Amino acid sequence: MPKQPLMSIKAFYSPHYAAADTPTLARLGIVAKRLRDLPGIELLEPSPLDRGKLLGLHQADYLLAFHEGIEPLASSQGVRWSPTVRNAFYWMLSGQLLASEQAMESGIAINLARGFHHAVFERGSGYCALNGIALLAHHRPDHKVFVIDCDEHGGNGTEEFAQRLENLYQGSIFGTRFGCLGHQRAWNYLVHVADDGFQRYLDSISEIRQHIVDTRPDLLVFQAGVDCHRDDPKSRVGLSSAQLEQRDRKVIGIAHDLGIPLLIVLGGGYQDPERLAALNIGTLQAALDVFG
């Protein structure tokens, strides 16, 4: 971790991320455009992915099917396969690896990517083609990676990978379980703010913090989903904008206070694209306020 305040936070993004034929990915371009006007964020473009780094991450026949467009596996994430979609995920994975290296060097980095945490070993799922969160643990087996997943939908794919990869851990707070069951390296918290109260959400973050203290990871990953915002059509968590800001500051503050490198990744969101971009920018502004 740096001893002096950061002059800027590096964020990785390529126009390749924003596949025009896939609305959930195309929205990333709006976030990147807004980010260029946010002081303190430096946008960097990743290099093309070395596909050799994916070997063993997913089942071999799935990796081949996704690369070649062999159905039905190629579209198993729930989005129709195209070369543009394939290349978007490859570029996002390259950015993921580079952002993790940057976080380890400077204390914090951002990847303006989404679509990772539902992909399982055998296939894609839930608009997620390749698990770019599990990739970090797969790529660096000597590093413990702990994921704080705050998406509306539990990170079932990452949870499954944490059973395969002994250096991967996850604490997940969600309103829609999406197959998450929990195990010895995955802790789940189902919270509906209208019924449970916002304090229960904050308490869940505190409980995850204790798991982080006990685990002593080398890298934290914040899956900063905004589909848990109460205006999102898929939201059951029901966070207000002010509560979302408190969530972001508390999660990011864990990394800052414990001195653990942090990688922030965007998660789900299904509102108007401009509204989503504003919520995503709010997360990045919280990172600037805490670290910068």
Query: Which of 259, 262, 237, 252 has its CA nearest to residue 282?
Result: 252
pLDDT at 268 over 60: yes
Report the pLDDT averaged over residues 21-31. 93
Tokens of 123: 């296939």
Torsion of CA 91, 75, 136, 16, to 10 degrees: 10
Partners of residue 259 on adjacent β-strands? none
Provide the pLDDT for residue 36.
87
Q: What is the pLDDT of residues 116-162, one digit of tens each?
A: 999 999 999 999 999 999 999 999 999 999 999 999 999 999 999 99
The band of 202, judged by pLDDT with boundaries at 50, 70 and 90, is very high
User: Strand 186-190 to strand 219-224: parallel, antiparallel, or no bridges (unpaired)?
Assistant: unpaired
pLDDT at 5 over 60: no
Domains of the chain: 9-291 (3.40.800.20)
Provide the pLDDT for residue 245.
97
User: Strand 219-224 to strand 262-266: parallel, antiparallel, or no bridges (unpaired)?
Assistant: parallel
Q: What is the pLDDT of residues 27-51, one digit of tens each?
A: 999 999 999 888 999 999 999 999 9
Partners of residue 263 on adjacent β-strands? 109, 221
pLDDT at 270 over 90: yes
Report the pLDDT averaged over residues 11-16. 97
The CA-to-CA distance between both ends of the chain, in Å, stands at 13
0.85 surpassed by pTM: yes
The band of 1, judged by pLDDT with boundaries at 50, 70 and 90, is very low
Residue with tokens 């790529």: 139
CA 83 → CA 65, 97, 130, distances in Å?
12, 21, 15
Average pLDDT over the chain, rounded to an integer? 95
Instruction: Output DSSP code: residue 142.
Output: T
